[in-house]
Amino acid sequence: MKLKTHNQTINIKKATDFKTRLFGLMGQKDIQEGILFPKCKAIHTFFMKEEIDVIGLNEENQVIYIYRNVPKNKIIKISTPEKKTSILELPKNTSKNLVIGSIINFKETE
């Protein structure tokens, strides 16, 4: 999948298997891609090499939480009564044009 921001396109990987959900972006330097964790309400940044942006989404891909430049060794929990939330991890500073209520449209790659 791809996510187009105001001036760049970011490749987004979907974390559907155990290994991808477990490791996510851990240990990576110079992060250039994002990862979507469907059906997820919490992530951690233990063992991260750099800061990331963390976006909470409802089932319509509407932004319900934004955490920018999250440093390593943090736990992010989305507190919401909505049951079908997802978390999108992005490279740092790529969410600056997103606001609560924005709808994220992912483009499927060919």
Place 110 in a pLDDT band, splitting at 50, 70 and 90. Answer: low
Does the pTM surpass 0.85? The reply is: yes
Contacting residues for 6 by C-beta, under 8 A, at least 6 apart:
97
Which letter does DSSP use for residue 48 in this model? -
Distance, in Å, from the CA atom of 71 to the CA atom of 61, rounded to the nearest integer, reads 24
Phi-psi region of 98 (alpha: psi -120 to 50; beta: other; left: phi over 0): beta
Q: Given CA atoms 22, 107, 2, 7 in this order, what sign does their dihedral have?
A: negative
The domains found in the chain, sorted by start residue, are 2-107 (2.60.120.1140)
Q: Quick one: how far is CA 50 from the chain centroid?
A: 14
Residue 78: what pLDDT? 86
pLDDT of 66 > 90? The answer is yes
Place 108 in a pLDDT band, splitting at 50, 70 and 90. Answer: confident
**More confident: 1 or 6:** 1
Residue 72: what pLDDT? 92
Mean residue pLDDT across the chain: 91
